[in-house]
Structures are given as structure tokens and as C-alpha cells.
């Protein structure tokens, strides 16, 4: 449903609004990254984070390792500090549809544009139990931190990026 809307309606609106010489120049949503980052590393917490991402995205998650030694957080180089999953293609559109039509209206009022960074929109969902997959198994996932989501595009300028986000019906304001 969202893929049809994206390929037919949003691309048509982009072609009418901006001048493109080639269809390949149309901005696209490239990927969606879902990740948890933990302050205190615990094997049970890492396992719960990996399983929750697998339930949300229907794809195997990967562990994130620390790049540097940090004495304040008591983290050594190479130790796991979180988990992530990268969605592209059909899984990306399925998750985006679930996020836009059922989850964001429950958790977000408006998204400020001050959070945009290099044509990607970072979001964080503090209440992860708006997802029914996680709320059904509350006892396993009750210790998890906020879920971070990054929506990345390949738009060339800010006007295209904002138009694409508004066309996807994201609740943003300037």
C-alpha cells in the first residue's frame, strides 16, 4: 500500500514540483536504521534488545561494538554497546507503513526540523510498547531503553528532503 503510494503519487508530485532531467534524480528513501544503545552492558539486556529488533523488523539484528575505550562508561574497545538492524526494500516499506499509520500518531505530536542531519531524520520512541509485538511480551522487554530510528534519503537539497517527508505524511513542522 505505501509502496504504491510512494512510487505513483509521491514520485508524480516530485516531478511536478521540481525540475528533473532524469528519473534517476528523484529522491528516494534509501534505508531505515533501528537501534538500541545501552549505557550499562548486560547480556540479558543485549539479548532482549536483539530479539525486540528482530520482532519489529522481521530481520536478524547485529551487535554494535565500542570503537574506543571509555573510562567514564567503563567500556572497553570491542565490547558490545548496543544492537541495530538496517531495513531496505520491501521490509523498509512495511516498517514505514506500520510506523506512520499506527505508531507515530500514538507517540508523537510533531517532529521539529532542528533534528534533521545530512538528509536523514532521526527519531526516538521512548515508549517502545506502542508496538504490539513488544507489548504482548512486556516481561521480556520492560528494561529496554528508547528505540532510535533513522530515516535516510538520497535527496540533493533540503527542499526536496522536506517535500519528501511531508509527502510521506510525517508530522513535521518548521
- Please, which pLDDT band fits residue 107 given cuts at 50, 70 and 90? low
Predicted model pTM: 0.84
Residue 149 has pLDDT above 70, yes or no: yes
Say how far apart CA 174 and CA 42 lie, in whole Å: 40
Angle at 97 between CA 127 and CA 173, to 5 degrees: 70
Model confidence pLDDT, tens digit, residues 114-131: 566 678 888 888 888 888
Instruction: Give me the domains of the chain, ranges plus CATH numbers.
Output: 28-173 (3.30.1440.10)
Amino acid at each position: 500500500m505505501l509502496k504504491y503510494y510512494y512510487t505513483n503519487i509521491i514520485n508524480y508530485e516530485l516531478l511536478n514540483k521540481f525540475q528533473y532531467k532524469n528519473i534517476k534524480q528523484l529522491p528516494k528513501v534509501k534505508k531505515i536504521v533501528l537501534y538500541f544503545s545501552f549505557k550499562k552492558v548486560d547480556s540479558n539486556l543485549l539479548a532482549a534488545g536483539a530479539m525486540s529488533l528482530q520482532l519489529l523488523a522481521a530481520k536478524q539484528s547485529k551487535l554494535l561494538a565500542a570503537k574506543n575505550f571509555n573510562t567514564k562508561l567503563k567500556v572497553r574497545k570491542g565490547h558490545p554497546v548496543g544492537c541495530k538492524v538496517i531495513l531496505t526494500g520491501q521490509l523498509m516499506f512495511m516498517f514505514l507503513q506500520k510506523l506512520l499509520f499506527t505508531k507515530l500518531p500514538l507517540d508523537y505530536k510533531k517532529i521539529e526540523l532542528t533534528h534533521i542531519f545530512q538528509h536523514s531524520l532521526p527519531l526516538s520512541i521512548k515508549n517502545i510498547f506502542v508496538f504490539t509485538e513488544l507489548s504482548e511480551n512486556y516481561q521480556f522487554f520492560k528494561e529496554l531503553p528508547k528505540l532510535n530510528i533513522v530515516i535516510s534519503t538520497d535527496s540533493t537539497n533540503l527542499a526536496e528532503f522536506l517535500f519528501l517527508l511531508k509527502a510521506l505524511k510525517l508530522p513535521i513542522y518548521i
